[in-house]
Amino acid sequence: MSLLPLIALFATSVHAADELPPQAVAAWQAMSTVRSLEARFEQSRTTTLLSQPLVSTGTLRFVRPDKLAWVVDQPGRSTMVVAGSKVGMSYPDLGVYEQMDLAGDPDAERLVRSMMVWLAGDLEQVSRDYGVAWAAAPTGAPAGVLHLATLTPKDATMAALVSSLDLSLGGDPMRVLAVTMHEPDGDRVDITMHDVRLDPELPDDAFSIAGP
Amino acid sequence: MTPKLRLLLTAGLLLVLGLVASRIRFTDDLASLLPADGPLPRALEHLERFQVADTIMVEVDGSDATRADLLSAVDVLGERLQADPAIRRVRWRVRAADGMALQQAATPYALELVPVDALAERVSAEGIRTALRGQLLRLAGPGGGLFEGRFRQDPLDLGGLALRQLRGVESPFAIQIEASHFLDSSGLRAVLLVEPVVSTMEMGPDAPLIEQLEAHLASCALPARYLGGHRIAAESARSVRDDVQRAAVLGFVAMLGLFLLGFRSLRPVLGATAPLAVAVVATLAAGAIIGPLHGISLGFAAALLGLAVDYWIHLYVAAQAQDPSPGFAPRLAAAKAALGEIGPALFMGAASTAGAFVVLLFSRYPVVQGLGAMGLAATLGALAGTWLLGPLAFAALGGRRLPALRVAGLPRWARLLLVLIVAAGALTVGGSRFDGDPRNLLPPSADTQALERELTERYGGFGTGGMVVIEGADLDEVLDAADAAQGALDALTGVTTAGPSVLLPGPTARAARRAALPGAERLQQEIEAAGAELGFAPGALAGAAERLLEPPAWPLSPLTWSDTPLAELVGRHVQPMDGGWSVMISVITADDSLIELVEAALQAAAPGAELVVPSSFARDGIQEIVRELGRLGSLAVGWVLLLLGVRYRRLRMVAAAVVPCFTALLMAVAAFAVLGVAWNAVSAASMVLILGLGLDYGVFMAEGERRGASAHTGYAVLLSALTTLAGFGILVVARSPALFGVGLAVLVGMSTAALIALALVPGIARGEPILPARLQRWVGRLAWLALLGLSVDVLLGQLFYLSPPPGPTPEHHLEQVSAAEHRFGPHRLLRSQGVHTAYLEGDPWQRGYGAGVLTATMDERLEQELLETFERAVPSAFARFAIVRGAIMGLPGLDEWLLPEQRREIAGYVAGTGEHRDWLAPGYTRKVYYHAVHDIGQALVDSPMVHACTGFMAGPGYTADGHWLLARNFDFDGGRRFDQDKLITFVVPSQGIPFVSVSFASFSGVLSGMNAEGLALALQAGASTPPTAAGMPMGFIAREILQHASSLDEAEAILRDRQAFVAENILVVDGEAGDAALFEVTPERVERLPVQGAMGVSNHFRAEVFADLPINVERMAEGTTVPRLARMEELLAQHRGALDTPRAAEILMDRAGLGGAELPRGHRHAIDADIVTHSVVFDATARSFWVSRSPNTAGGYVAYDLDDALAGGIQPVDVMASGDLDATLGVHRGRKLLRRVEGVDPHEAEALARQALALMPGHPEALQALAQALMDQGRADEARPLAQWALDTPPEHGHQIRELRALLGLEVAE
């Protein structure tokens, strides 16, 4: 049950909100107006373990304030659902299903909360834990990307897991279009989102942790 | 004595007693109900050590709520309970931190936690591919990169496999984890497992825990209930307290009413307080001395109010009868005169009652001892109070003259009716039953029992059948034994276990798991090949196998789990103890009958394991109560008769005094039988009370008649009885069976005693007939006849009972060297690998005495089993009595045929065991005749109590190494104990050759054995008619051969020199000389048949001289001896040239028919028909041997080296694997069912036969029973195919063939 490091993957935030340029603050504020979100994603993991990058696709769903479902379709099915303090993970192809309650475990609970802050646009929360470098989109950036925010964890535990996170922002309203995660061992994960729907009505069972 | 002196003495007495009483302490500890030693407190010790009953299950019902509401309610409740300092721990949900801790603890030990099969599958080429594919899925999944670290450490995810194992042991209950909470299978109810700080044993009626817990549950948003040992203990304690309070109040009110009604004044009530005060203070002082007091003892203390006022009543009535003038002085004079008049009766009554209470002090039950002490103090206090204060109280308060009671005027018909009622009561006493289970003394409420049933059905777990406890100095050894035990039990159908084997597998299992893995090099190749196939980078998996196989830094131990949620669970199964470790496996069985199966499996798999089961509580308890009754009752009766004899010196007066109490005892027993109430330890002890109090009435009435004052005495007895009933009998309103039993016994007993005392005693004391003259004459004649019969039996006993030779009592003490070994001087008894071995040395008396001390318990069990088998075969008690007496008188002076050393050995044995069952015959006589059971049983071969043995001798040409082997199965249906308690005895005699004998405790003869000179011997029954004259029992002849012969010729000489009284096959192998012979022996002749290479032997003779012996011919035609021998010879031929000890054992375990034809399991044509009491293979050349382990041969074999053993190394040198326990025990259960078929209703017979057939598929006996049952119901069409099937199988015995043919309507040949 390695949920703790898994949760840490999603834990990103921004640094020193009062130092950010106005457009960055505006971008975060725009994101904070989103009540729910659904998007397709493609993730490419580049690791020294594998000869070729490992590509996976799936769907991401989020409902403010504390529901998240990360559903992978390819190359195999897997799901992670967070609903409040409850977390469920399933790997149907492996016959593995795990669920747990984070209540009474402040560290784990904090990590789960932080994994949703960039989706929720909670600038205050993010600024507590991460330093932020804000820049305009570099030349050659994918179409639609206007800004690049680089988050660097301040917490040593997080830093051991993630060196930095590059968030590519764009669109109207402003939102995260892609994420690149750099790991201390040199591995990298690129996540791009498309077919993004903002504020859709998402059924409760999309966040069920009841398992199979 | 002046009034002042009386007051002064009383004040002094009260002061002293009061000071002592002020130190009284109370307890609600259930342990105080148990005897101080024996199996019950040991079981309690285990229960406490492992906190078996210390988890409370709380169920929150969300049937009418949403899931969210249920989870919210249970979370709030759980946190509230967790915050309560009275609660140590609450489990109701799975937290991320728990999972993390578990993973961290388990991963380094993954290789040792995963079972071999799963491990082997995972490290196979396909398993490795599957595991790596799964890891790829995880890497591709949400946050998959963070699995990389774990992947590099454990690429095959063995940690995941281990965690899956551990999940199965998180709870003893059938609880599923859903939405991260413990829910029932419907998901509608949530469960919390609560572990309070206090243990079950510390619970009292007002324990704050229960109140707090109930308050928490009441505050829960949803309905919540709870169940567990704490609730049951608190309820029991509350029940006792309520009973005591209720009895005390009701008793007081009833007595007040009685006084008002009987004396028509309150003055006597006030007067009663004086002696009562002394009695109460004396009682409390006794309680303080023996303390702390349990509630049940307190209940008696409250009831003793009735006893304390009895003497005051007698004094008051007698004083009033003096008709004193008004005024203090005349009344004091009258009271003193009355005291002088009733003094003898008062002292006799007090002495007998006190004597009865003194007897209780000898009980093994502390609670009964408490009763005795307080009863004794109350009696003496009442006597002292009455003596000192009674006259003063009467002088101060004396009232009106009382009416006289006409007590001797019952019409004759009423007396006859009374006698008839008593006679009818006597006929019902056989229906009495005992309940020795201490838990039933204070059972939980009906609500709790219903809740227990409901929750057991839903969650299981509560129905634990028992616990297996294994103790030892070394943790690894204990864990290995636990693995073996748990594995064997898990293999049984209908039995589930919870033990340490998943969390803490023993070193053997751990090593086996590691051994199942391929070498590091091969494993690395497999991993890299699979990795390349799945796209892993070259080198990504380098060193994976090496890391995987690296042993953990610290060995697996209870400390491994100390920081995980499983720590508590580990503590439930593994606990340190003084000088070692104790491991517990809880066993849950579908029904109690499976416990036998569990016992057998344990005996084979983990012989040192101790099984603690509720049914054994009951069994041990019953035995204890029966002993207690006999012991205390006979002591009390002896005391009473002694007192009365000394006092009256006339039979008539003694009879008058004892008739009420003896009749009272009889009617109390009858009442329990008629009402179907079981006796228990406490109610059984109340019999002694009835004896003492009932005697009071008889004594007072007899004394009253003697001094011509029976009318006034009768009035006093009546009032005394009523007050006693108000005090004790009122306990009949108690809810706890312990106190209710006392109330019922006293109510019935004392009512009877009073009635008989009033109606019959004066007449008996005067010598008047009770019944109509003619009837009384007949009753008298019958009584005389019975007395005569008894006298004749005693006389015949004197003539025919054998006199044991005397011997000294050794100065040794029995000492327990270890859990498995006891010593008595140089003599030893060891239980190792499921088999008892004894080592005896010295002269015959010393050997016998040592064996007696060491095997007394086994001896008692065996005798009990033998007598039960006898009872099944001969249901009539009189017939059994006649057979026993007939055997003793028919074969008189049997011990004269024994050698002096054999007589001394048996006498020593009897002295060593201590005497019991004298009523059957004295110990020495019984033991000598038991040794002839084998001989008498010869005539019964192939009937229920039989020896149907099969064996062989083989030497060069047949054996692989040229050794001489003697192998045999000793079949005996006398009871399973003869198998379970088999004894291998190594004897180093002061004179003769050292030898080993394989038989059972208390048997001094030899059935199978081998001596240090390499002479091996076995007895196998021949065909005999019942013996008509005594001779030397065959077992002793065999013993003499083994102890004194070193060659076949010497053996033959002994055989020819001794007079046998039955026929016998005696197999003798001389390993030293390399020769063997079969001796066919009858009382008339001995035939020696040489063995040419090999020879099979069963139960008939083959010498030409016996060819026409009718009994031999009949045996061959009717019995199973011919097919068994044919199969044996077939197998010998098959294994010619290859025989060795293992193959010989294989032959002895053969269950096929001739030509290898399949026989139904348990068929008696087979060599191994699952009735083997011992199976043994002697290698006479190597002087080593194998002996089977219970059950029959299914427990495998243990090996011994004779020379080592005779030098003191009596533990087995090797153990051979077990066989199919389930099937063997199925046959046992099937046979047991078939024994019940006889004489029952055809429908019930059908059900029994069908059950038996399911356990013994195709067995002709079961088929025949079923066919017969169906035929009896008129279902011939269904019956005939079954009968034909049985006939074709074939049947086991000739008579069965005839019965089946008759059933089919076929011609029956004679």
| Per-residue tokens: B637 | 């009766």
- What is the rounded CA–CA span in Å between residue B1010 and residue B1042? 7
Mean pLDDT of chain B: 82
Side chain identity, residue B151:
F
B contacts of A101 (beta carbons < 8 Å): 93-96, 180-181
User: How confident is the model at residue A105, as a pLDDT?
Assistant: 62
DSSP state of A196: E
- Minimum mean pLDDT range among A61-65, B217-221, B459-463: B459-463
Q: What is the pLDDT of residues B188-219, one digit of tens each?
A: 899 888 888 877 766 666 678 888 889 999 99
Q: What is the pLDDT of residues B636-688, one digit of tens each?
A: 778 878 888 888 888 888 888 888 988 998 899 889 888 888 887 677 777 76
- Whether residue A53 is contained in a domain is answered as yes
Region class of B227: left (phi > 0), else alpha (psi between -120 and 50), else beta:
beta
**Is A210's CB within 8 Å of B536's CB?**
no
- What is the rounded CA–CA span in Å between residue B177 and residue B172? 13
A contacts of B145 (beta carbons < 8 Å): 9, 45, 47, 181, 183, 187, 189
B806 and chain A in contact, CB less than 8 A: no
B contacts of A204 (beta carbons < 8 Å): none
When divided into structural domains, chain A yields a total of 1
- Whether residue A172 is contained in a domain is answered as yes
**Is A209's CB within 8 Å of B180's CB?**
yes
Side chain identity, residue A2:
S
User: How confident is the model at residue B1131, as a pLDDT?
Assistant: 96
- What is the rounded CA–CA span in Å between residue B219 and residue B224? 9
- Minimum mean pLDDT range among B200-204, B711-715, B730-734, B1258-1262: B200-204
- What is the rounded CA–CA span in Å between residue B195 and residue B550? 38
Other beta carbons within 10 angstroms of residue B66's beta carbon come to 9
**Which residue's entry shows tokens 């049947």?**
B1291
Number of residues written out for chain B: 1310
- Minimum mean pLDDT range among A138-142, B118-122, B153-157, B817-821: B817-821
**Is A49's CB within 8 Å of B537's CB?**
yes
- Which carries the bigger pLDDT value, residue B443 or residue B222? B222
Percent of chain B with pLDDT strictly greater than 70 = 87
- Whether residue A7 is contained in a domain is answered as no
B543 and chain A in contact, CB less than 8 A: no
Name every residue whose Cβ is closer than 8 Å to that of residue A65 and which is 6 or more positions away in sequence. A116, A120
Tell me the CA distances in angstroms from B779 to B268, B659, B670, B752, one per residue in order.
Answer: 44, 16, 21, 21
The number of CA neighbours under 13 Å toward the Cβ of B696 is 33
**Is B148's CB within 8 Å of A76's CB?**
no
Cβ–Cβ < 8 Å for B210, B427: no
A contacts of B94 (beta carbons < 8 Å): 99-101
Side chain identity, residue B184:
D
For A49, which of B95, B160, B536 is closest by C-beta distance? B536
B140 and chain A in contact, CB less than 8 A: yes
DSSP E strands in B943-1014: the ranges are: 950-954, 965-971, 982-989, 995-1000, 1008-1011
Q: What is the pLDDT of residues A15-51, one digit of tens each?
A: 444 567 787 788 888 888 888 889 999 999 898 888 9
Name every residue whose Cβ is closer than 8 Å to that of residue A40 and which is 6 or more positions away in sequence. A57, A58, A59, A60, A193, A194, A195
Kindly report the pTM of this predicted structure. Answer: 0.55
| Per-residue tokens: B996 | 């080993």
For chain B, how are helix, strand and coil distributed in percent, rounded to 5? 60, 15, 30
A161 and chain B in contact, CB less than 8 A: yes
Q: What is the DSSP string of B907-963?
A: HHHHHHH----TTTS-HHHHHHHHTTHHHHGGGGTTSSS-B--EEEEE-BTTBTTS-
A contacts of B95 (beta carbons < 8 Å): 100-105
User: How confident is the model at residue B615, as a pLDDT?
Assistant: 58
Chain B interface disruption, residue of A94, A119, A157, most B CBs within 10 A? A94
- What is the rounded CA–CA span in Å between residue B243 and residue B230? 20
Euclidean distance between the first and the last CA atom of chain B, given in angstroms as a whole number = 94
Q: What is the pLDDT of residues B991-1017, one digit of tens each?
A: 899 999 999 888 889 999 999 999 999
**Is B145's CB within 8 Å of A187's CB?**
yes
What is the nearest CA distance from A149 to chain B, expressed in angstroms?
A: 20
- Minimum mean pLDDT range among B28-42, B727-741, B1068-1082, B1219-1233: B28-42
Name the helix (H) or strand (E) containing B94.
none
**Is B179's CB within 8 Å of A99's CB?**
yes
A125 and chain B in contact, CB less than 8 A: no
- Which carries the bigger pLDDT value, residue B1215 or residue B959? B959
**Is A10's CB within 8 Å of B535's CB?**
no
Tell me the CA distances in angstroms from B367 to A163, B20, B496, B1145, B1283, one per residue in order.
Answer: 74, 20, 36, 53, 58
B1281 falls in which pLDDT band (50, 70, 90)? very high
Is residue B944 over pLDDT 60? no
User: How confident is the model at residue A10, as a pLDDT?
Assistant: 38
Other beta carbons within 10 angstroms of residue B511's beta carbon come to 12
Whether the CA torsion B1047, B1048, B1053, B1056 is positive or negative: it is positive
Q: What angle do CA B454, B457, B459 make, to 5 degrees?
A: 100
User: How confident is the model at residue B940, as a pLDDT?
Assistant: 47
C-alpha B843, offset from chain centre: 35
- Whether residue A67 is contained in a domain is answered as yes
Name every residue whose Cβ is closer than 8 Å to that of residue B602 and which is 6 or more positions away in sequence. B468, B485, B488, B489, B609, B611
- Whether residue A74 is contained in a domain is answered as yes
- Whether residue A209 is contained in a domain is answered as no
User: How confident is the model at residue B945, as a pLDDT?
Assistant: 44
Name every residue whose Cβ is closer than 8 Å to that of residue B113 and which is 6 or more positions away in sequence. B106, B162, B165, B166, B502, B503, B505, B556
**Is B99's CB within 8 Å of A3's CB?**
yes
Is residue B1231 over pLDDT 80? yes
Counts for chain A of helices (H) and strands (E), in that order: 6, 11
- What is the rounded CA–CA span in Å between residue B939 and residue B951? 20
Other beta carbons within 10 angstroms of residue B491's beta carbon come to 13
Cβ–Cβ < 8 Å for B681, B624: yes
A170 falls in which pLDDT band (50, 70, 90)? confident
Indicate the SS3 state at residue B620.
helix
**Is B96's CB within 8 Å of A43's CB?**
no
For residue B167, give the chain A residue with the closest CA: A98
CATH number, residue A99: 2.50.20.10
- Is beta strand B181-183 parallel, antiparallel or unpaired with respect to B495-498? unpaired
Cβ–Cβ < 8 Å for B1066, B1060: no
Q: What is the DSSP string of B256-278?
A: HHHHHHHHSSSHHHHHHHHHHHH
A8 falls in which pLDDT band (50, 70, 90)? very low
B224 beta partners: B60
What is the nearest CA distance from B525 to chain A, expressed in angstroms?
A: 17
Task: Taking each helix axis as running N to C, give the angle between helix B295-321 and helix B681-706, from 0 to 180 degrees, rounded to the nearest 10.
Answer: 10
**Is B97's CB within 8 Å of A105's CB?**
yes
- Whether residue A11 is contained in a domain is answered as no
For residue A51, give the chain B residue with the closest CA: B537
User: How confident is the model at residue B621, as a pLDDT?
Assistant: 60
User: How confident is the model at residue B498, as a pLDDT?
Assistant: 80
What is the nearest CA distance from A35 to chain B, expressed in angstroms?
A: 22
Cβ–Cβ < 8 Å for B73, B220: yes
**Is B140's CB within 8 Å of A9's CB?**
no
For residue A109, give the chain B residue with the closest CA: B96
User: How confident is the model at residue B1262, as a pLDDT?
Assistant: 94
Q: What is the DSSP string of B1228-1245?
A: HHHHHHHHHHTTS-HHHH
User: How confident is the model at residue B1051, as a pLDDT?
Assistant: 95
C-alpha B263, offset from chain centre: 53
- Is beta strand B982-989 parallel, antiparallel or unpaired with respect to B835-842? parallel
| Per-residue tokens: B1206 | 């005779």
Is residue B1279 over pLDDT 70? yes
Could you list the residue range(s) of the whole structural domain that residue A149 is in? 17-196
B94 and chain A in contact, CB less than 8 A: yes
Name the helix (H) or strand (E) containing B835.
strand B835-842
Percent of chain A with pLDDT strictly greater than 90 = 8
Q: What is the DSSP string of B366-429?
A: HHHHHHHHHHHHHHHHHHHHHHHHHHHHHHHH--SPPPP---S---HHHHHHHHHHHHHHHHHG
For B540, which of A6, A48, A91 is closest by C-beta distance? A48
B490 and chain A in contact, CB less than 8 A: no
Whether the CA torsion A109, A110, A115, A116 is positive or negative: it is positive
- What is the rounded CA–CA span in Å between residue B940 and residue B937? 5
- Whether residue A121 is contained in a domain is answered as yes
- What is the rounded CA–CA span in Å between residue B1177 and residue B1185? 5
- What is the rounded CA–CA span in Å between residue B132 and residue B1002? 65
Is residue B703 over pLDDT 70? yes
Look up the ipTM and state it: 0.86
User: How confident is the model at residue B1070, as a pLDDT?
Assistant: 96
For B536, which of A10, A50, A209 is closest by C-beta distance? A50
B943 falls in which pLDDT band (50, 70, 90)? very low
**CB contacts < 8 Å between A and B, how many?**
141
- What is the rounded CA–CA span in Å between residue B637 and residue B687? 11
